[in-house]
């Protein structure tokens, strides 16, 4: 095969080359083919490292499954800090370790990657749901209690009742299930990481929709957070019904 043909073969079938094809590339004396072979090997090594990283994220869930505890739901929220918009929580249930490439704390992923991983989570999860609490309720309850309410709504909205819940941070007051709070849970638990991604993506979509209704605030960009531009828009145009009045000091 010519180098051009090999490049095309690898481009189309890089992850499906069999041992014989890889051996041919390995034993080819052409320097350009050697570079192609080594790039394939490097990619395989990175994929294996990623597989192992994601597998480790299921440790807490697997410990519970081994004890006969199932279903287990991971819970996380997004939107505690913004000046506008709701706080959104998500709950995700996996019934076994499923490899979802790039599954991680939502803050460690780019916006494009978050949406890609969100789709993989929704396809792989046994169940998932969200809970949304609006700005007016946040002002009434305070953000901590509103976040807990969003989490309880997410659990309630699941079509499967979890036996145990894993929570990022602290126990949810009044939750009916046994629970395990995990500090930085979105970095060490697969189901919490998945919940963090769904919660963040759901909230971002809500804020983009609000941007159509309130075009002067650039919600599609700042997502309601207190950027310099957002504060200036507040001074110029005042509050909207989705702003958290208790959060804003101009």
Provide the CB-side half-sphere exposure for 163 (13 A, CA): 10
Strands (DSSP E) along 100-174, which ranges? Answer: 127-133, 164-168
- Alpha-carbon separation of residue 217 from 123, 135, 197 (angstroms): 34, 16, 24
Token code pair at residue 181 = 């709070």
Measured between its terminal Cα atoms, the distance across the chain in Å is: 69
Residue with tokens 């309850």: 141
Could you tell me whether strands 127-133 and 87-93 are parallel, antiparallel, or unpaired per DSSP bridges?
antiparallel
Q: Any residues with CB less than 8 A from the CB of 95 and at least 6 apart, and which?
A: 70, 71, 126
Can you tell me the distance from the alpha carbon of 62 to that of 67, in angstroms, rounded to the nearest whole number?
A: 9
**Spatial distance between the Cα atoms of 121 and 195, rounded to a whole number of angstroms:** 9
The encoded tokens of residue 158 equal 């699941």
Cα 144 from Cα 136, distance rounded (Å):
14
Sign of the CA dihedral running 43, 48, 52, 55: positive
Residues sharing a CB contact under 8 Å with residue 5, sequence separation 6 or more, in sequence order: none
User: Structural domains in the chain?
Assistant: 3-56 (no CATH), 68-246 (3.30.420.10)
| Contact of 137 with 206, CB cutoff 8 Å | no
Per-residue confidence of the chain (250 residues) as pLDDT tens digits? 888 888 888 887 877 888 888 888 888 888 998 998 898 888 888 889 999 999 999 999 999 999 999 999 999 999 999 999 999 999 999 999 999 999 999 999 999 999 999 999 999 999 999 999 999 999 999 999 999 999 999 999 999 999 999 999 999 999 999 999 999 999 999 999 999 999 999 999 999 999 999 999 999 999 999 999 999 999 999 999 999 999 998 7
What pLDDT score does 77 carry? 97
């Amino acid at each position: 095969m010519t180098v051009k043909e090999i490049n095309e073969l690898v481009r189309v079938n890089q992850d499906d080359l069999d041992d014989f094809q890889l051996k041919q590339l390995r034993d080819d004396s052409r320097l350009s083919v050697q570079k192609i072979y080594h790039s394939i090997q490097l990619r395989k090594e990175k994929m294996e490292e990623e597989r192992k990283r994601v597998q480790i994220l299921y440790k807490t869930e697997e410990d519970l499954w081994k004890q006969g505890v199932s279903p287990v739901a991971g819970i996380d929220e997004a939107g505690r800090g913004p000046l506008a918009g709701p706080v959104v929580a998500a709950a995700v249930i996996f019934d076994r370790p499923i490899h979802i490439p790039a599954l991680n704390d939502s803050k460690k992923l780019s916006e494009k990657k978050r949406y890609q991983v969100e789709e993989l989570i929704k396809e792989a999860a046994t169940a998932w749901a969200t809970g949304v609490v609006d700005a007016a309720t946040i002002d009434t309850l305070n953000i901590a209690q509103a976040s807990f309410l969003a989490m309880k709504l997410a659990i309630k909205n699941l079509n499967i009742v979890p036996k145990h819940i894993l929570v990022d941070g602290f126990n949810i007051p009044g939750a009916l299930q046994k629970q395990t709070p995990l500090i930085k849970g979105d970095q060490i638990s697969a189901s919490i990481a998945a919940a963090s991604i769904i919660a963040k993506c759901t909230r971002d979509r809500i804020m983009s929709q609000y941007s159509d209704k309130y075009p002067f605030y650039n919600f599609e960009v700042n997502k309601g957070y207190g950027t310099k531009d957002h504060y200036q828009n507040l001074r110029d145009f005042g509050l909207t019904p989705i702003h958290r009045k208790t959060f804003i000091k101009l």
